[in-house]
A and B are shown apart, each in its own frame.
Chain A
Amino acid sequence: EDQVTQSPEALRLQEGESSSLNCSYTVSGLRGLFWYRQDPGKGPEFLFTLYSAGEEKEKERLKATLTKKESFLHITAPKPEDSATYLCAVKYGGSQGNLIFGKGTKLSVKP
């Protein structure tokens, strides 16, 4: 059973069309939820860390929120350069300090 599930697998948006990506988790003893961005042919790049339910973080057009069961990455008025795969990861009591990643959401923003 997957511990971290991201949806949708792929999302196509028009430039300026706001939307949200979902990351749900089933682990207990959450120590942090993380969002990364991965461009083709590159390693993931850190975006946000969230630690407790109700916490929010923002960076440019991105806003990450966290509840007790899931996190959302809201993208407001996206631009083509926001196209990438967005990865969610969790660290919890049983992960030995390691990040456990979801399978990602591939976002395409068309001009």
Chain B
Amino acid sequence: DTAVSQTPKYLVTQMGNDKSIKCEQNLGHDTMYWYKQDSKKFLKIMFSYNNKELIINETVPNRFSPKSPDKAHLNLHINSLELGDSAVYFCASSQAAGQGTEKLFFGSGTQLSVL
């Protein structure tokens, strides 16, 4: 059983489109994250979401919005896609604060290509 699964694995789309990436974790964790890994393999936090509290990295454009229907899911919606959005997006999860939150479990990534 995959602990953190995200779909799709690959996403190719045109500039200006709106797309979503889904993420699900079966670890019972309380906190979920979205990270972006650019072409230089630099991994940067985009959002963290814990018990309905959303912490947003101030550098993330408001075209990106996380949506969490329940504790096990954190989807990423992207509006008006731009060329610069091309990257690999990773979902991750961890236990609640104070319970070893350091150990992040990552999904296998979604490679987004905007043409």
| A positions within 8 Å CB-CB of B | 32, 34, 36, 41-46, 49, 85, 87, 91, 96-101, 103-104
Contact = CB atoms under 8 A, between A and B. Distances in A.
A103 B105 CA distance: 19
Interface in B68-115: 90, 92, 97, 101-109
Contacts of A103: 40-42
B79 to A, nearest CB: 24
Contacts, number: 51
A85 B115 CA distance: 28
Contacts of A49: 102-103
B50 to A, nearest CB: 8
Interface in B21-52: 33, 40-45, 48
A65 B48 CA distance: 28
B102 A91 contact: yes
A44 B106 contact: yes
